[in-house]
Structure 1
Amino acid sequence: MTIFVIYLAGVAASMSLGKFSSVGPQMTAQLGLSLTQLGWVISAVVALGAVAGLPAGYLVRRFGAARSLVVALVLMVAASALSAAAGDFAWLLASRVAESAGYLLVSITCPALILRLAHARDRGVALSIWATFVPVGIGLSTLAGGAVGAALGWRGWVLLIAGSTLVMTLVVRARLPWTSAPETAAGSVPGARALAWPALLTVAFCLMVLVTIPVIVLLPTLLIEQYERSATVAGALTSVISLLGVPGGLAAGLLLRRGVPLGVLAASGLLVVPAAWLTYAGGGSLAAAVTGAGVISLENGLLGALVFAALPHVLERLDHADVGNGLVTQMGSLGSLLGPPLFGLVAGASGYGAAVPVIVAGMVASVGLLLLVARHVSGRARRVTPDAA
């Protein structure tokens, strides 16, 4: 039950990641934002994670994961409430950067707590489920945001998100143990050589996020502007598509547990290439755009879970997991930060079709790196097996 509460805390935080997606056109009209500025507002919630994920991991170890999680949620509540009062781009962006500090801590503390609380045999499945927190949060926020935004305005919707996060904060505070003793790390701190393969894995993660997350978070704007759908309909469609990342993440955990090679699952990421063409250059068909975005969302969930599941296999020691998780958070945040404004810039300058080669290049590079990691993991397993025998 406690692990489920931790998961819900992650979902509440990721709802803030996508809370502006379904009300984007309303915000741009009221505040005079460009598509590129909207992209920055959406992605700025991961700003600090893009530059401070690794240092934040050490801070969490010093002050305790449970304590850090509660502080993170409180910070997100305050920053979200402030963003509801924004009158221009600068104010909105500043509040999102503040919110990013809380989101960063949530991203590090939740998987750390899950690793500590889950039984050894269940950790892989638990982490695969954890990896779905972003598509679930974005799906819920885009589903509700369109309808609530139409009824209460975008400011009312943001305040509702702040209130729901406050409720989650109280639940987490009541459920998790609260100790005054700091958590100290066991073993030596990993050096650059020990982090070489984890770094390669997380660069692949960064590239994957860079070219898949923008497709999902900017989809409501595409549906409204290109296909003339209402905000409510666009939000509902985006919610369904975002939630496809959940079965993708769960499938990764299940297939790995059944012995499907890491490389086979990594290669499935190449399905994003034709899916990108369907989404942005499929001849103007709504069905094609929705189908393509759905495949991209599914692969986003599957590959994201694959990274979390593969991380323990590329670490030299399991007690390096906190540092590795900080690296995963930092590189994933970097992709989430740069992706939406990059796509906004490309689409604003040359149309949505120009995003296709960007997606293709990023995804092919990501899959290539994942295949290198898969080869390393396979070779490492072959070296260990004879010794075990």
Structure 2
Amino acid sequence: MSDAAAPRTNFLIVFTIWGAGLGAAAQFAKISVIFAPMARDYGGAAATSWLVSVVGIVGLIFGTTAGLLVVRLGPRRVLVGGLMLGAALSAFQAGMPGYGWMLASRVAEGASQLAIVVAGPVLIAEVTAPRHNGFAMSLWASFFGVSFAASALIAPVLVAAFGIAGLFAAHAAYMAVFAALLWPMLPADHSADRPAAAPWPRPREGLLAQHLAIYRSPFVAAPAAGFVFYTLMFVALVTLMPLQMPPALHGWVSEGMPLIAIAVSLTLGVQILRWLSAVRLVQLGFALAAVAALSLWLVWGEGAAMTVALLALAGSLGLVQGGSFAAIAELNRTSEDRARAAGAIAQLGNLGTATGTPLLTALIAGQAATGVLVFSVPLCLGGLAAHQWMAWRRTRGH
């Protein structure tokens, strides 16, 4: 893996890797957006919910391990291997196996998804010139929201025409096409000696020691340290806040929040990165989100004003989304450290996704508007403070 900055950006590779990321996100979306027919065929809502969540559980447990695997094998092998595995598993699922086999295939699909989302940003950084890093990483950060929006449009049409099996077969073909496209396109994996200034543990020192080294580094761990606060908030708010709105405004909130976050990240966020570091952009996003959350509390019960406040909150978190991935390359100069940072983001991101929604559900049930405020503002301040602490450690040489 080359650590030298690319002299110019290969946008064809950047957008193709992003396309692969859409396929990885669709490993969640392909079941989420057809939850009702899946529940009919696979034992009800509770059983089907496991088919959705088990993919993220794999990332929660093995996120940083995937980063270490990228270091060992190289991001090209890991990315293309993840795509090929995903294609094979979707093809298997197209046969509509029994619940046990379907669940087992979803566990394996979690490994496929993790390989893609950890190797993807490493390779994007490798083929992107420094001046385009903000745009490229913000684009990558949008893959989850874009994929869910596209899946919500496409999946029902495919299921209506070809059944659930047809949707899985289409996803298998998509993953296989991107594996075939990327293998000849991507730069070859090269082994690189670790620099003396970065004394990472040797394999014989054990996996635990390597994980501890990742989270002790204020450079490698910083993107994930802020990102976990973002995922705790964003998924929970997008899931639950539409339910607090009048029916006429439900669509504006449920569809508008992820779209405005993506739009702000790719436009305003990219422009701000011309003047601010990625870390400062993340902190700005958290500060604005705290203000938006306070505004939401003040206008609670007023439908139109709540919608504006929620869209402002989502847009503010869009700055956090793009800035967090831009910080991977900004803070880490070697491909090895970028792989470790991407693994940590995958791990802590899945932790936030898994825990935020139940927590906000309990707070809304008990305190309504105050519950949303108590949930959101401390998380915004926590994300801001986590980055400030990491920045202080970097200046102290820790």
TM above 0.5, yes or no, is yes
Over 3 Å counting, the alpha-carbon distance change for 1:354 and 1:119 in structure 2 is: same
Over 3 Å counting, the alpha-carbon distance change for 1:106 and 1:120 in structure 2 is: same
Give the C-alpha shift of residue 74 in structure 1. 0.8
CA contact (8 A) 2:223 2:325 kept: no
**Aligned-partner Cα distance in 1 for 2:181–2:352:** 31
Counterpart amino acid of residue 41 in structure 1:
L
Secondary structure class of the residue paired with 2:30: coil
| Equivalent in the alignment of 1:77 | 87
What CA deviation, in whole Å up to 9, does each residue of 1:303-362 have, x standing for no partner? 22122233456669886333222211211122234456x48x959xx9989897776555
Give the C-alpha shift of residue 363 in structure 1. 3.1
CA contact (8 A) 2:260 2:311 kept: yes
What CA deviation, in whole Å up to 9, does each residue of 1:70-113 have, x standing for no partner? 10001111222333444665443322211111111111111111
Is 2:179 the counterpart of 1:169? yes
CA contact (8 A) 2:22 2:147 kept: yes
- Aligned residue pair count: 368
**Aligned-partner Cα distance in 2 for 1:294–1:155:** 36
Secondary structure class of the residue paired with 1:259: coil
CA contact (8 A) 1:276 1:292 kept: yes
Counterpart pick for 2:378 among 359, 362, 365:
365
Is 2:232 the counterpart of 1:210? yes
**Aligned-partner Cα distance in 2 for 1:98–1:109:** 17
Secondary structure class of the residue paired with 1:208: helix
Counterpart amino acid of residue 246 in structure 1:
I
Give the C-alpha shift of residue 161 in structure 1. 1.8
Is 2:24 the counterpart of 1:13? yes
- How do 1:76-115 and structure 2 match up within 5 A? 76-86=86-96, 89-115=99-125
TM-score by length of 2: 0.75
Unpaired segments ≥5 residues, structure 1: 385-389
- How do 1:192-203 and structure 2 match up within 5 A? 194-196=216-218, 199=221, 201-203=223-225
Secondary structure class of the residue paired with 2:33: coil
Over 3 Å counting, the alpha-carbon distance change for 1:193 and 1:87 in structure 2 is: closer
| Equivalent in the alignment of 1:42 | 52
Counterpart pick for 2:139 among 129, 148, 161:
129
Counterpart pick for 1:24 among 30, 35, 47:
35
| Equivalent in the alignment of 1:4 | 15
Over 3 Å counting, the alpha-carbon distance change for 1:140 and 1:122 in structure 2 is: same
| Equivalent in the alignment of 2:349 | 332
TM-score by length of 1: 0.76
Is 2:73 the counterpart of 1:63? yes
| Equivalent in the alignment of 2:287 | 267
**Aligned-partner Cα distance in 1 for 2:31–2:307:** 20
**Aligned-partner Cα distance in 1 for 2:240–2:176:** 27
Give the C-alpha shift of residue 114 in structure 1. 1.2
**Aligned-partner Cα distance in 2 for 1:176–1:28:** 39
Give the C-alpha shift of residue 214 in structure 1. 4.8
**Aligned-partner Cα distance in 2 for 1:237–1:160:** 30
CA-based RMSD of the aligned residues comes to: 4.2
CA contact (8 A) 2:145 2:259 kept: yes
What CA deviation, in whole Å up to 9, does each residue of 1:39-69 have, x standing for no partner? 4332322222211121211211221111111
Over 3 Å counting, the alpha-carbon distance change for 1:375 and 1:18 in structure 2 is: same
Over 3 Å counting, the alpha-carbon distance change for 1:367 and 1:315 in structure 2 is: farther
**Aligned-partner Cα distance in 1 for 2:218–2:291:** 28
Mean Cα displacement is larger for which, 14-23 or 132-141?
14-23
**Aligned-partner Cα distance in 2 for 1:29–1:54:** 36
Over 3 Å counting, the alpha-carbon distance change for 1:28 and 1:253 in structure 2 is: same
Q: Quick one: percent identity of the two aligned structures?
A: 26
**Aligned-partner Cα distance in 1 for 2:247–2:97:** 29
What CA deviation, in whole Å up to 9, does each residue of 1:277-310 have, x standing for no partner? 89xx858x7x789767755654443322122233
Secondary structure class of the residue paired with 1:32: coil
Counterpart amino acid of residue 211 in structure 1:
M
- How do 1:139-154 and structure 2 match up within 5 A? 139-154=149-164
Mean Cα displacement is larger for which, 56-65 or 331-340?
331-340
**Aligned-partner Cα distance in 2 for 1:149–1:277:** 40
